[in-house]
Amino acid sequence: MAKKVLIIYAHQNSASFNAAAKNAAVEVLTAQGCSVEVSDLYAMNFKATATAEDIKGGVKNAENFCYLEESRAAWEEGRLSEDITKEQAKITEADLIIFQFPMYWSGLPAVMKGWIDRVLTYGFAYTQEKRYSQGVFKDKKAMLSFTTRSLESMFSPTGIDGDMNVTLWPLQNGILHYCGFHVLAPQIFWAPASAADEDRKSMMEAWRTRLQGLLEEKTLSFLSLDCFDEKTFQLKPDVQEKQASKEFGLTAGIHLNKPLPPHNQMKAGC
């Protein structure tokens, strides 16, 4: 059965490296029989700010407005704005979501963060009961594909920008894994703007090669919700005990005050 892929794309320039990476994904995945849809956030003029305007028919508590609760109620009652519901419908249909973007300030461009804030609403994308390994999207995959301005050596444990595994933790664990997605290793294009033409070509060819087998790749490793106490949300004592003699922590974020496991947020099976 053909897979459905959704690409959430954020770049202002159709001649950019990010645009080329997005186009390569569309071409290669379509050639494999996938149905590929692109949400071009800048071209769509997608609204980045989460406001009361997202709720049709007015809010329930205007004096003490809470976007979290109001958007959940609006989702349950079918009162979210059309631009949000269109994106939610795309997610529902997708087997894989690829986020394609330039890294800004060690994170996402504002328009893409706004897409996450507004589209991944409470109720639709997560609940207190349905998150992490028991998340709403546990039957789907997602991944980050992005460019940096800094060289790879600068995003290292000894580099000035720090370990990229640490930078990726809030994005891959706090957003994607939180919503239940199985997270594929990121595709990182290191500083293409300052690279030689041949190096940029090599980066793109490596991406096209990876895309050939992307749907069969193993995903990154995250801890199951079962590893945590259901009341305190702390690691269970038996899990901590098993890790006591290990050299490294469990993940980039839950590291037990041990050295971070190498490449935990960048390579599957680590």
Amino acid at 262: P
Map tokens 């109620």 to a residue. Answer: 73
Q: How far apart are CA 63 and CA 50, in angstroms?
A: 17
pLDDT for 268 equals 87
> Contact, 124 vs 172, CB < 8 A?
no
Q: How far apart are CA 248 and CA 252, in angstroms?
A: 10
Count of beta carbons in the 10 Å neighbourhood of residue 137: 23
Q: How far apart are CA 21 and CA 200, in angstroms?
A: 11
In 42-102, beta strands by DSSP E? 96-102
pLDDT tens-digit profile, the chain (270 residues): 569 999 999 999 999 999 999 999 999 999 999 999 999 999 999 999 999 999 999 999 999 999 999 999 999 999 999 999 999 999 999 999 999 999 999 999 999 999 999 999 999 999 999 999 999 999 999 999 999 999 999 999 999 999 999 999 999 999 999 999 999 999 999 999 999 999 999 999 999 999 999 999 999 999 999 999 999 999 999 999 999 999 999 999 999 999 999 999 999 864
Which tokens hold the place of 221?
Answer: 């490793």
Structural domain boundaries in the chain? 4-218
> Contact, 181 vs 141, CB < 8 A?
yes
- Contact residues for 33 (Cβ-Cβ < 8 A; gap 6+): 2, 3
pLDDT for 269 equals 65
**Selection from 70, 83, 86 nearest residue 123 by Cα:** 70
Coil, helix or strand for 13? coil
CATH for 4-218?
3.40.50.360
* Residue 19 to residues 40, 135, 144, 183, Cα–Cα distance (Å): 10, 31, 14, 22
